[in-house]
């Protein structure tokens, strides 16, 4: 590793300061806030914000369309920090520009329990955090969804309402992850000209110089996917400004390779040490000295803060103009636009679906639930015109493209169907971006088994709470000849293990329509529809208009003889349970069949309802063409569960804080264990 000579470093920094004194002060504010916050937390990543401060300062200062006081403005430019470990870059920018949520107190509480300044940016913690990043490659892949949403909404609503850029900062790690290739290729295919990616080309990863693991010519790689590429000195504000102008002028998505020094100005500059937390007091003092920064920790001089606040207010007039244009829309356009933005469904949907279900119960079609999904979408898509469908090259198998849909392409931005290609991961990440952008409701399909490929982004749908709908067909050995590589066995259990995710495995055409309705009603939870390849009979006979799938589980067929057994089943195995019931009843064994389309919704029912469906008597057998894991909870029964055994662990996602505090916070302690034992006794 290169040894950094302090004298040379000072000279270099001085040259930067002298060439662009105002710029330097603003960028320096980001650098010292980062140093101070990481030092206070005694953990985090200092080097990236220190390296990319100049790019961020020019971007926010001269280009990013935003109004800090109104971070929800739908037509703001989106800024995605794909290299999420550099979270202090984003928190600094939000604080400096006076974004309402980001106080100095929050910055001081970086990485502490209850703060909004988590180790990695968490969507929902603060306005201005457009997406959760940290798992590498996700941000750049989300950004494709943001950019598609913008193109589609611009075509739909006109550029007086929608017309913005999506900017991304990605690091070497983001570009090494395979999902980045899926995203880059998809963006190139779709010619997303308003997507601009800054690659933090600092040559350093955690393990050392990038060269120990990669020799990719990134510019060549992006160019091969149809991108406009540039390479600049990432510390030269003029070069950064010019590059952004050129990127905007080009008709392709644009990648700007920014040569930067990780940990700029610190003794750890250009080393993998700088990737992590720089916490040594002397190192921080030396760095401040090199910067010529004489203010105390977390102290930003008034004039520098004022300059940043001016930047934060730069877009206020543009936003006000936009509000006027929205107000001036004719007819229902304003309310329609606002409804789509809000995620609320059109009022006519529920009735249309109830009518449709009544017809199904009368007609009793025997169709695969993947076909049933298409039939439901044929009702939904003309009403919910903000849906954006798609498939990872399995359109004919997933049945995701309804009759009125046309492909979204470079020449047809009004199209509502996306050909994602064989890119399950890129699809899921793009759908997160679409949902986060707002104004559209994404759904997309692949085979359930290939949930595996999409998994990192599906987890983020759940963690962020975005209502993406995953249409996962071919949901068991029922797919037949394609064999074990294509047959999900553990996948339904895996999805059920994930917090904040609704996993539906509908039994027939009726439950499929119900599941779609529930999935679309969600505003903070993604849904997975596990759908059969094979045809299934209509098992629902009750012709009430209630959505029974919303109960999670319900009595589909009651025992005729005295009830001795309860059969629980999902999806394609429900009709099989009914068959078994007939055989048991014939043998004098009264048997109830409970359909369980969604365990999470059943778990959320009042205890009284759960007990009614699953009383503590008789025997129970569950039937599902997947692994047993997850079923014991329902086989065991309420009483045994409540009275004789218990569990100490997690029920949702974690949080950013020191470990001991997290154990305490989530109640995973010896004391909690003792209390549970005592309660059981």
Positions marked catalytic = 424
479 is a site residue for a second copy (CB under 8 A): yes
Of the candidate residues 460, 502, 518, 598, the single one contacting a second copy (CB under 8 A):
460
567 is a site residue for a second copy (CB under 8 A): yes
Of the candidate residues 483, 562, 606, 608, the single one contacting a second copy (CB under 8 A):
483
The interface region with a second copy, picked from 308-316, 357-365, 502-510, 657-665 by CB under 8 A, is: 657-665
628 is a site residue for a second copy (CB under 8 A): yes
What span, in angstroms and rounded, lies between the C-alpha atoms of 487 and 346?
37
Residue 609 or 666: the one with the smaller Cβ distance to a second copy is: 666
| 441-447 vs 590-595, strand pairing mode | unpaired
Length of the chain equals: 681
Q: Nearest distance from residue 354's CB to a second copy, in Å?
A: 32
| 3-state secondary structure at position 581 | helix
Q: What angle do helix axes 281-291 and 6-19 make, rounded to 10 degrees? A: 40
135 is a site residue for a second copy (CB under 8 A): yes
What span, in angstroms and rounded, lies between the C-alpha atoms of 38 and 25?
20
Q: DSSP states of 387-453 as a string?
A: EEEEESS-HHHHT---TT--B-BTTBTT--EEE--S-HHHHHHHHHHHHHH-S-EEEEEEEGGGHHH
Binding residue per annotation — 45? Answer: yes
What span, in angstroms and rounded, lies between the C-alpha atoms of 409 and 625?
39
19 is a site residue for a second copy (CB under 8 A): no
* Alpha-carbon distances, residue 431 vs 147, 150, 186, 472, 516 (angstroms): 11, 13, 13, 14, 17
Q: Enumerate residues 332-371 that contact a second copy by CB under 8 A.
A: none
124 is a site residue for a second copy (CB under 8 A): no
How buried is residue 321: exposed, middle or buried, by Cβ count under 10 Å (0-12/13-18/19+)?
Answer: exposed
Query: Which of 133, 245, 140, 261 shows the shortest CA–CA distance to 200?
Result: 261
Of the candidate residues 280, 299, 490, 560, the single one contacting a second copy (CB under 8 A):
490
Of the candidate residues 259, 576, 604, 605, the single one contacting a second copy (CB under 8 A):
576
669 is a site residue for a second copy (CB under 8 A): yes
Q: Enumerate residues 188-217 that contact a second copy by CB under 8 A.
A: 188-189, 205-207, 212-217
Of the candidate residues 3, 396, 411, 606, the single one contacting a second copy (CB under 8 A):
396
The interface region with a second copy, picked from 10-18, 88-96, 152-160, 574-582 by CB under 8 A, is: 574-582
| C-alpha 495, offset from chain centre | 15
Q: Nearest distance from residue 179's CB to a second copy, in Å?
A: 5
Residue 162 or 657: the one with the smaller Cβ distance to a second copy is: 657
Binding residue per annotation — 439? Answer: no
* Alpha-carbon distances, residue 268 vs 6, 17, 176, 190, 200 (angstroms): 11, 20, 24, 41, 17
* Alpha-carbon distances, residue 211 vs 1, 172, 317, 515 (angstroms): 12, 11, 47, 49
Binding residue per annotation — 135? Answer: yes
Residue 440 or 578: the one with the smaller Cβ distance to a second copy is: 578
Q: Nearest distance from residue 665's CB to a second copy, in Å?
A: 8
Site residue total, a second copy (CB under 8 A): 153
Of the candidate residues 34, 99, 131, 180, the single one contacting a second copy (CB under 8 A):
180
477 is a site residue for a second copy (CB under 8 A): yes
* Alpha-carbon distances, residue 447 vs 291, 322, 485, 516, 628 (angstroms): 54, 42, 11, 18, 21
Q: Enumerate residues 368-387 that contact a second copy by CB under 8 A.
A: none
The interface region with a second copy, picked from 63-71, 74-82, 457-465, 502-510 by CB under 8 A, is: 457-465
Binding residue per annotation — 437? Answer: no
669's tokens: 């302690």
Of the candidate residues 72, 245, 355, 482, the single one contacting a second copy (CB under 8 A):
482
397 is a site residue for a second copy (CB under 8 A): yes
Q: Enumerate residues 82-121 that contact a second copy by CB under 8 A.
A: 84, 111, 118-120
Binding residue per annotation — 491? Answer: no
Q: Nearest distance from residue 369's CB to a second copy, in Å?
A: 14
Q: Nearest distance from residue 540's CB to a second copy, in Å?
A: 19
Of the candidate residues 432, 461, 487, 595, the single one contacting a second copy (CB under 8 A):
487
Query: Which of 493, 475, 585, 594 shows the shortest CA–CA distance to 536?
Result: 475
Instruction: Count CB neighbours of 603 within 10 A.
Output: 13
Q: Nearest distance from residue 122's CB to a second copy, in Å?
A: 7
* Alpha-carbon distances, residue 618 vs 37, 552, 592, 637 (angstroms): 60, 22, 10, 11
Q: Nearest distance from residue 625's CB to a second copy, in Å?
A: 5
The interface region with a second copy, picked from 60-68, 280-288, 316-324, 413-421 by CB under 8 A, is: 413-421
650 is a site residue for a second copy (CB under 8 A): yes
With beta carbons less than 8 A apart as the criterion, state whether 59 and 36 touch. Answer: no
The interface region with a second copy, picked from 26-34, 309-317, 372-380, 564-572 by CB under 8 A, is: 564-572
Query: Which of 126, 144, 138 shows the shortest CA–CA distance to 171?
Result: 138
Q: DSSP states of 299-360 as a string?
A: ---HHHHHHHHHHHHTTHHHHHHHHHHHHT--TTHHHHHHHHHHTPPPTTHHHHHHHHHHHH
255 is a site residue for a second copy (CB under 8 A): no
Q: Nearest distance from residue 651's CB to a second copy, in Å?
A: 7
176 is a site residue for a second copy (CB under 8 A): yes
Q: Enumerate residues 262-301 that contact a second copy by CB under 8 A.
A: none
Three-state SS across 176-223?
HCHHHHHHHHHHHHCCCCCEEEEEEECCEECCEEHHHCCCCCHHHHHH
The interface region with a second copy, picked from 242-250, 298-306, 341-349, 492-500 by CB under 8 A, is: 492-500
What span, in angstroms and rounded, lies between the C-alpha atoms of 144 and 180?
10
Residue 347 or 403: the one with the smaller Cβ distance to a second copy is: 403
Query: Which of 318, 177, 178, 165 shows the shortest CA–CA distance to 256?
Result: 165
Residue 21 or 403: the one with the smaller Cβ distance to a second copy is: 403
Residues of each annotated binding site: 45, 85, 134-136, 172-173, 202, 204, 275, 370, 397, 450, 474, 482, 486, 533
Residues of each annotated binding site for substrate: 45, 275, 370, 397, 474, 482, 486, 533
């Amino acid at each position: 590793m290169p040894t950094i000579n302090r004298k040379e470093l000072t000279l270099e920094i001085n040259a930067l300061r002298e060439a662009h004194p105002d710029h330097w002060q603003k960028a320096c504010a980001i650098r010292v806030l980062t140093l101070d916050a990481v030092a206070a937390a005694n953990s985090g990543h200092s080097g990236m914000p220190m390296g990319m401060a100049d790019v961020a300062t020019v971007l926010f200062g001269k280009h990013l369309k935003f109004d800090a006081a109104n971070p929800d403005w739908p037509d703001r430019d989106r800024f995605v920090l794909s290299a999420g470990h550099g979270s202090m870059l984003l928190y600094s920018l939000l604080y400096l520009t006076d974004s309402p949520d980001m106080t100095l107190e929050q910055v001081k509480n970086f990485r502490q329990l209850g703060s909004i300044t988590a180790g990695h940016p968490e969507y929902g913690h603060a306005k201005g955090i457009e997406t959760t990043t940290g798992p590498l490659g996700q941000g750049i892949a989300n950004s494709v969804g943001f950019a598609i949403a913008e193109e589609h909404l611009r075509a739909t609503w006109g550029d007086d309402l929608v017309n913005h850029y999506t900017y991304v900062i990605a690091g070497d790690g983001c570009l090494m992850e395979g999902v980045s290739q899926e995203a880059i290729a998809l963006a190139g295919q779709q010619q997303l000209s308003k997507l601009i990616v800054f690659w933090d080309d600092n040559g350093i990863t955690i393990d050392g110089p990038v060269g120990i693991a990669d020799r990719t010519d990134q510019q060549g790689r992006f160019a091969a996917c149809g991108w406009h590429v540039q390479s600049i000195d990432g510390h030269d504000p003029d070069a950064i400004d010019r590059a952004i102008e050129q990127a905007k002028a080009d008709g392709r998505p644009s990648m700007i390779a920014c040569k930067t020094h990780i940990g700029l100005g610190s003794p750890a500059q250009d080393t993998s040490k700088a990737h992590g937390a720089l916490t040594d007091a002397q190192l921080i003092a030396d760095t401040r000295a090199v910067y010529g920064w004489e203010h105390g920790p977390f102290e930003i001089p008034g004039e520098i803060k004022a300059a940043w606040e001016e930047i934060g207010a730069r877009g206020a007039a543009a936003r006000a103009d936009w509000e006027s244009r929205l107000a001036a829309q004719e007819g229902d356009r304003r309310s329609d636009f606002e409804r789509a933005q809000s995620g609320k469904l059109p009022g006519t949907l529920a009735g249309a679906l109830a009518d449709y279900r009544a017809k199904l119960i009368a007609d009793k079609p025997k169709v695969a639930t993947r076909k049933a999904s298409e039939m439901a979408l044929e009702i939904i898509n003309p009403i919910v015109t903000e849906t954006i469908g798609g498939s990872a090259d399995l359109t004919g198998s997933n049945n995701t493209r309804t009759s009125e849909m046309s492909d979204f392409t470079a020449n047809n931005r009004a199209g509502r169907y996306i050909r994602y290609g064989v890119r399950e991961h890129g699809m899921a990440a793009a759908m997160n971006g679409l949902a986060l952008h707002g104004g559209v409701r994404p759904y997309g399909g692949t085979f359930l088994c290939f949930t595996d490929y999409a998994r990192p982004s599906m987890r983020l749908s759940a963690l962020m709470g975005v209502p993406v709908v995953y249409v996962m067909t071919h949901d068991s050995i029922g797919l037949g000849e394609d064999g074990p590589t294509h047959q999900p066995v553990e996948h339904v259990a895996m999805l059920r293990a994930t917090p904040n995710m609704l996993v539906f495995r509908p039994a027939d055409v009726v439950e499929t329509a119900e599941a779609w309705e529930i999935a679309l009603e969600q505003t903070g939870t993604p849904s997975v529809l596990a759908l059969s390849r094979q045809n299934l009979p209509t098992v629902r006979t009750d012709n009430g208009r209630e959505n029974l799938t919303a109960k999670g589980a319900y009595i589909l067929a009651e025992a005729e003889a005295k009830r001795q057994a309860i059969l629980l089943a999902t999806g394609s195995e429900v009709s099989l349970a009914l068959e078994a019931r007939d055989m048991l009843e014939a043998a004098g064994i009264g048997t109830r069949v409970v359909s369980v389309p969604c365990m999470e919704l059943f778990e959320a029912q009042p205890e009284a309802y759960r007990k009614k469906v699953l009383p503590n008597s008789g025997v129970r057998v569950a039937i599902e063409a997947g692994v047993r894991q997850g079923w014991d909870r329902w086989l065991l029964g309420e009483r045994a569960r409540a009275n004789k055994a218990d569990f100490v662990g997690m029920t949702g996602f974690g949080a950013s804080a020191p470990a001991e505090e997290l154990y305490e916070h989530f109640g995973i302690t010896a004391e909690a264990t003792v209390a549970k034992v005592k309660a059981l006794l």
